[in-house]
Amino acid sequence: MESFDDLIITFQDFGCERLFIKKLSKNDNSKQQIYLGPSFDVLSHIPHGEIVQKEGMKRETWWTTVDLSWLGNHNQLAKAPYTKLILYPKYPEIRLSGFLRGCKNAPNEILTSRGEGRILFLGIKDGSEVIAFVCNSDHNVVKTSNSALDFDGVFSEYPLRKSVSGLSALDQLMNDLREIHQTGWIDGQRLNSEGEVVPCNAQNAIGYTLESQLGIKANGLPGPDKLGWEIKAHTVAKWDAIPSKPLSLITTEPDGGVYVDEGLKSFIGNYGYTDSKGDGRYGGIHKVGQLGRSSKNRENLRMSLVGFDEKKMKISEPDGFLCLEDHSGEIAASWSFRHMLERWTKKHNKTMFVPALAQNSSGLRSYYYGDRIRLGYNSDFPRLLNALHNGDVYLDPMPVIYSSGGARKRSMFRINMKSLPVLFERFEEKSLIYSGFELD
CATH of the domain at 91: 2.40.330.30
The answer to whether position 118 is within a domain reads: yes
Amino acid 439: pLDDT: 39
CB 420 within 8 A of CB 376: yes
Domain range enclosing 10: 4-158
Domain identity same for 197 and 304: yes
Question: Any residues with CB less than 8 A from the CB of 172 and at least 6 apart, and which?
Answer: 162, 163, 165, 227
Q: What is the pLDDT of residues 366-386, one digit of tens each?
A: 999 999 999 998 888 899 999
**End-to-end distance of the chain based on CA atoms, in angstroms?**
48
The answer to whether position 163 is within a domain reads: no
Domain identity same for 132 and 176: no
Question: Any residues with CB less than 8 A from the CB of 231 and at least 6 apart, and which?
Answer: 173, 210, 211, 214, 216, 225, 351, 352, 354
Domain identity same for 268 and 404: yes
Question: Any residues with CB less than 8 A from the CB of 276 and at least 6 apart, and which?
Answer: none
Q: Does 18 score more than 70 pLDDT? A: yes
Domain identity same for 417 and 308: yes
The answer to whether position 222 is within a domain reads: yes
The answer to whether position 164 is within a domain reads: no
> What's the maximum distance between 2 C-alpha atoms anywhere in the chain?
75
β-bridge mates for residue 68, sequence order:
80, 130
Q: Does 172 score more than 80 pLDDT? A: yes
The answer to whether position 111 is within a domain reads: yes
CATH number at residue 189: 3.30.70.3570
The answer to whether position 324 is within a domain reads: yes
Q: What is the pLDDT of residues 230-253, one digit of tens each?
A: 888 999 999 888 888 999 888 999
Q: Does 222 score more than 60 pLDDT? A: no
Domain identity same for 277 and 365: yes
Domain identity same for 30 and 122: yes
Q: Does 255 score more than 80 pLDDT? A: yes
Burial (CB count <10 Å: 0-12, 13-18, 19+), residue 25: middle
The answer to whether position 132 is within a domain reads: yes
Which domain-ending residue is among 158, 187, 215?
Answer: 158
Which domain-ending residue is among 115, 131, 158?
Answer: 158
The answer to whether position 115 is within a domain reads: yes
Domain identity same for 126 and 184: no
Burial (CB count <10 Å: 0-12, 13-18, 19+), residue 115: middle
Q: Report how many domains make up the chain.
A: 2
Q: The pTM is what?
A: 0.78
Domain identity same for 151 and 287: no
Q: What is the pLDDT of residues 125-138, one digit of tens each?
A: 877 899 999 999 99
Q: What is the 3-state secondary structure (H, E, C) of 70-105?
A: EECCCCCEEEECCCEEEEECCCCEEEEECCCCCCCC
Domain identity same for 118 and 258: no
pLDDT band at 216 (very low <50, low <70, confident <90, very high): confident
Amino acid 50: pLDDT: 87
Q: What is the pLDDT of residues 43-64, one digit of tens each?
A: 878 888 888 887 655 567 889 9
Domain identity same for 393 and 244: yes
Q: What is the pLDDT of residues 296-334, one digit of tens each?
A: 999 999 999 999 999 988 888 888 999 999 999 999 999
β-bridge mates for residue 210, sequence order:
none
Domain identity same for 185 and 209: yes
Give the Cα separation of 2 and 144 in Å (integer): 9
Amino acid 74: pLDDT: 87
Which domain-ending residue is among 109, 133, 158?
Answer: 158
What backbone torsions phi and psi does residue 142 show, to the nearest 5 degrees? -70, -45
Give the Cα separation of 306 and 322 in Å (integer): 6
Give the Cα separation of 359 and 367 in Å (integer): 7
Domain identity same for 350 and 423: yes
Q: Sheet containing 331-336: which strands, arranged edge to edge?
A: 302-306, 321-325, 331-336
Question: Any residues with CB less than 8 A from the CB of 349 and at least 6 apart, and which?
Answer: 41, 44, 45, 224, 230, 377, 378, 379, 380
